[in-house]
Chains A and B, each alone.
Chain A
Amino acid sequence: MATRIPMSFTINGDRYEMELPPQRTLLELLRDELGLTGTKESCGAGICGACTVLVDGQPVSSCIKMAFQVKGREITTIEGLAPGGQLDPLQEAFVRHGAIQCGYCTPGMIIIAKGLLLQNPYPSEEEIYEAVGSNICRCTGYVKIVEAVRAVARGER
Chain B
Amino acid sequence: MAEFSVIGKPFPRIDAKAKAMGDAKYTADMRLPGMLYGKVLRSPFPHARIRQIETARAKGLTGVRAVITAADTPKIKYGLVVDDELPLCDDRVRYVGDEVAAVAAIDRDTAEEALDLIEVEYEELPAVFDPEEALRPGAPVLHEQFPNNVASHLNFERGDIEAGLREAAVVLEETFRTQCHHQYYMENVAALANWSEGKLTIWCPLQFLEIPRQLLAKALNLRLSDIRMIQAYVGGGFGGKLDQKLPVVTALLALKSRRPVLCEHTREEEMQAARPRVPMIIRLKMGARKDGVITAKDTQIIADNGAYSNWAQGILSTAATRVDSAYRYRNIRTDAKLVYTNKTPTGAFRGFGNPQITFAVGSMIDMLARELGIDPAEMHRKNATQTGDVTAHGWVINSCGLTECIDRALERIGWPAKRQQKTFGRGLGVACAIHVSGNRIIGDYDGSAAFVKLNEDGRANVICGEGEIGQGANTIFAQIAAEELGVRYEDVDMSVADTDVTPFALGAWATRVTAIGGNGVRMAARDAKRQLLEAAAEKLEANPDDLVIREGVISVKGLPGRSLTVADAVKASMYKKGGTPVIGRGQFSVDTTVQVGKEKFGNIAPAYSFACQVAEVEVNPETGVVKVLRVVAADDLGRALNPLSAEGQVEGGVVQGLGYALCEELVFEDGRVLEPMEYEVPTAWLAPNVESILVEPIDPFGPYGAKGTGETPLVPVAAVIANAVCDAVGVRITSLPITPEKIRKALKAKQEAAGR
Which residue numbers of A lie inside 8 Å of B, CB to CB? Answer: 31, 35-45, 47-48, 50, 77-79, 81-82, 85, 87, 91-92, 94-96, 98, 100-107, 110, 129, 132-146
Task: Please determine whether A143 and B651 come into contact, CB atoms closer than 8 angstroms.
Answer: yes
Q: Which residue on A lies nearest to B15, using beta carbons?
A: A103
Whether B689 contacts A143 by the Cβ 8 Å rule is yes
Taking a contact as CB atoms under 8 Å apart, the answer to whether A143 and B690 are in contact is yes
> Could you tell me if A95 and B684 are in contact, using CB atoms closer than 8 angstroms?
no
Q: Report how far A41 CA is from B234 CA in the complex, Å.
A: 14
B159 at the interface (CB under 8 A from A): no
A45–B675 alpha-carbon span in the complex (Å) = 13
Q: Distance (Å) between the CB of B647 and the closest chain A CB?
A: 7
Q: Does B174 contact A (CB under 8 A)?
A: no
**In the complex, are the beta carbons of A98 and B681 less than 8 A apart?**
no
Q: Would you give the shortest CB distance from A102 to chain B, in whole angstroms?
A: 3
Look across to chain B and name the residue whose beta carbon is closest to the beta carbon of A102.
B470
Residues of chain B within 8 A of A134, CB atoms compared: 683
Q: How far is the CB of B193 from chain A (nearest CB, A)?
A: 19
Chain B contact residue count (CB 8 A cutoff): 54
Contact flag A79-B186 (CB < 8 Å), given A141-B687, A144-B651? no
Determine whether the beta carbon of B266 is less than 8 Å from that of A94.
no
Are A98 and B644 closer than 8 Å at their CB atoms?
Answer: yes
Known contacts A106-B19, A107-B22, A142-B655; is-contact A101 B470 (Cβ 8 Å): yes
Contact (Cβ within 8 A) B20 A50: no
Interface: B648 (CB within 8 A): yes
Cβ-closest 5 pairs across A and B? A38-B22, A102-B470, A103-B19, A104-B235, A141-B655
**Cβ of A37 and Cβ of B12 under 8 Å apart?**
no
13 cross-chain CB contacts under 8 A = A37-B26, A44-B267, A45-B267, A78-B21, A79-B22, A87-B21, A95-B13, A98-B10, A98-B645, A101-B652, A102-B185, A102-B469, A103-B19
In-complex Cβ contact of B233 among A39, A98, A103 (8 A): A103
The listed residue (B186, B472, B689) touching A42 by CB distance below 8 A is: B186
A41-B28, A98-B645 known; A138+B238 contact, CB < 8 A: yes
B754 at the interface (CB under 8 A from A): no
Minimum CB distance partner of A82 in chain B: B21
B466 at the interface (CB under 8 A from A): no
Q: Which of B660-706 contact A (CB under 8 A)?
A: 677, 681, 683-685, 687, 689-690
What residues of A have a CB within 8 angstroms of the CB of B144 in the complex?
none
- Distance in angstroms between the alpha carbons of A72 and B172 in the assembled complex: 69
Q: Is B617 located at the chain interface by the 8 A CB criterion?
A: no
CB distance from B538 to the nearest CB of A (A): 41
Q: Is the CB of B236 within 8 A of A98?
A: no
B187 sits at the interface (CB 8 A): yes
CB of A40 within 8 A of CB of B26, answer: yes
Chain A proximity mask over B169-186: 1 for CB below 8 Å, otherwise 0: 000000000000001111
| Min CB–CB distance A55 → chain B (angstroms) | 17
Within 8 Å by CB of B652, from A81, A133, A140, lies A140
Q: Could you tell me if B12 and A95 are in contact, using CB atoms closer than 8 angstroms?
A: yes
Secondary structure at the B interface, as helix, strand, loop or mixed, is loop
- Min Cβ gap A153→B in Å is 15
Closest Cβ neighbor of B186 among chain A residues? A104
Chain A: CB-nearest residue to B238: A138
Q: Which residue of B lies closest to A108 (CB)?
A: B186
Question: In the docked arrangement, what's the CA distance between A120 and B738, Å?
Answer: 37
Report Cα–Cα, A91/B81, bound state, in Å: 44
Nearest-Cβ distance from residue B273 to partner chain A, whole angstroms: 16
Query: Does the CB pair A142–B684 fall under 8 Å?
Result: yes
Please classify the interface of chain A as helix (H, G, I), strand (E, B), loop, or mixed, using the class held by over half of its residues: loop
Select one of B16, B186, B471, B677 contacting A94, CB under 8 A: B16
Asked if B539 CB lies within 8 Å of chain A CBs, one says no
- Chain A residues in 8 Å Cβ range of B690: 141, 143
Among candidates B16, B267, B651, residue contacting A95 with C-beta atoms closer than 8 Å: B16
Per-residue 0/1 for B4-48: is the Cβ within 8 Å of any A Cβ (1 yes, 0 no)? 000000101101111111111110110100000000000000000
Contact yes or no, A101 B186, CB < 8 A = no
Contact yes or no, A98 B677, CB < 8 A: no
Min C-beta distance of B644 to chain A, whole Å: 4
CA distance in complex: A101, B23 (Å)? 14
A102/B13 in contact, CB under 8 A: no
Residues of B within 8 A of A129 (CB): 684-685
The verdict on A95 contacting B20 (CB below 8 Å), with A138-B681, A139-B648 known, is: yes
Interchain CA distance A132-B23 in the complex, whole Å = 22
Question: Chain B contacts of A92 at CB under 8 A?
Answer: 20
Tell me the nearest residue of chain A to B651, going by C-beta.
A141
B656 within 8 A of A: yes
Note all chain A residues with C-beta closer than 8 A to B29.
31, 37
Please determine whether A95 and B187 come into contact, CB atoms closer than 8 angstroms: no
Which B residues touch A98, using CB under 8 A? 10, 12-13, 644-645, 647-648
Chain B residues with Cβ below 8 Å from A42 are 186-188, 267
A100 pairs with B656, CB closer than 8 A:
no
Instruction: Report if B654 contacts A (CB, 8 A).
Output: yes
Report A9 CB to chain B, min CB distance, Å.
18
Chain B residues with Cβ below 8 Å from A132 are: 684
Contact present for A102 and B187 (CB under 8 Å):
yes
Q: Are A106 and B234 closer than 8 Å at their CB atoms?
A: no
C-alpha gap A8/B258 in the complex (Å): 37
Scoring A31, A42, A79, A138 by chain B CB atoms within 10 A of each residue's CB, the highest score goes to A138
Q: Which residues of B contact A94 (CB under 8 A)?
A: 16, 20
* A128 and chain B: residue at smallest CB distance: B684
Partner of B23, one of A38, A41, A47: A38
- Given A101-B472, A102-B185, the answer on whether A145 and B684 have CB atoms closer than 8 Å is yes
User: A102 vs B236: C-alpha distance in the bound complex, in angstroms?
Assistant: 5
A35 partner residues in chain B, CB cutoff 8 A: 31
Contact A95 B17 (CB under 8 A): yes
Question: Could you say which residues of chain A place their CB within 8 Å of the CB of B21?
Answer: 38, 78-79, 81-82, 85, 87, 91
For B22, what are the chain A residues with a Cβ–Cβ distance below 8 Å? 36-39, 77-79, 106-107
For B24, the chain A residues whose CB sits under 8 A away are 103
Which residue of the partner chain A has the closest CB to B653? A141
Contact: A105 with B20, CB < 8 Å?
A: no
Return A11 CB to nearest CB of chain B, in Å: 13
Q: Which residues of B, 595-649, contact A by the 8 Å Cβ criterion?
A: 644-645, 647-648
B511 to chain A, nearest CB (A): 15
Which residues of the partner chain B approach A91 to less than 8 Å between Cβ atoms?
A: 17, 20-21
Q: Specify which chain B residues have a CB less than 8 angstroms from the CB of A107 in the assembled complex.
A: 22
Q: Is the CB of B651 within 8 A of A140?
A: yes
Beyond A40-B187, A98-B644, 20 additional contacts (C-beta under 8 Å) are A37-B26, A38-B23, A42-B186, A44-B266, A48-B186, A87-B17, A94-B16, A95-B12, A100-B19, A100-B20, A101-B13, A102-B185, A102-B236, A103-B24, A104-B26, A104-B235, A134-B683, A140-B651, A141-B653, A143-B690
Chain B contacts of A136 at CB under 8 A?
184, 186, 681, 683
Write out the residue numbers on chain A whose beta carbons fall within 8 Å of the beta carbon of B10.
98
Tell me whether A103 and B235 are in contact (CB under 8 A): yes
Query: With A98-B647, A102-B469, A136-B186 in contact, is A87–B20 under 8 Å at CB?
Result: yes
Q: From A38, A137, A145, give the contact of B186 (CB < 8 A).
A: A137
Interface positions, chain B 439-474, Cβ under 8 Å from A, are 469-472
